[in-house]
Structure 1
Amino acid sequence: MTTVPGPADTPGTVPHGYADHKGDYLARLHKVEGQVRGIARMVDDDRYCLDVLTQISAVNRALQEVALGLLDDHVRHCVTDAARSDPGEGEEKLAELALALRRALRL
Structure 2
Amino acid sequence: MAQYWYSTDKKALQTRLRRVEGQIRGLQRMVDEDVYCIDILTQISASNKALQAVAVELLEGHLGHCVAHAQAEGTEEEAAAKVKEATAAVSRLLRS
Quickly name the TM-score band, shorter chain normalised. Answer: over 0.9
Higher helix share: 2
User: 1:84 is aligned with what amino acid?
Assistant: A
Secondary structure at the counterpart of residue 4 of structure 2: coil
Q: After superposition, what is the alpha-carbon deviation per residue over 1:69-99, rounded to whole angstroms, capped at 9, x for unaligned?
A: 0000000000000111122211110110111
Q: After superposition, what is the alpha-carbon deviation per residue over 1:20-76, rounded to whole angstroms, capped at 9, x for unaligned?
A: 322111101101111101110100110011111111111000000000000000000
Q: After superposition, what is the alpha-carbon deviation per residue over 1:5-33, rounded to whole angstroms, capped at 9, x for unaligned?
A: xx32xxxxxx2122232211110110111
Which shifted more, 46-55 or 16-25? 16-25
1:82–1:90 CA contact under 8 A, matched in 2: yes
Aligned length: 95
Q: Percent identical across equivalent pairs?
A: 47
Please, which of 47, 50, 65 is the counterpart of residue 77 of structure 1? Answer: 65
TM-score between both structures, scaled by the size of structure 2: 0.92
Query: Looking at both structures, which has the greater relative contact order when contacts are Cα pairs under 8 Å and sequence separation is at least 6?
Result: 2
Structure 2 runs not aligned, ≥5 long: none
1:82–1:89 CA contact under 8 A, matched in 2: yes
Q: In structure 2, how many angstroms separate the alpha carbons of the residues matched to 1:53 and 1:20?
A: 35
User: 2:9 is aligned with what amino acid?
Assistant: H
1:42–1:52 CA contact under 8 A, matched in 2: yes
Structure 1 runs not aligned, ≥5 long: 1-6, 9-14
The equivalent of 2:90 in structure 1 is 101
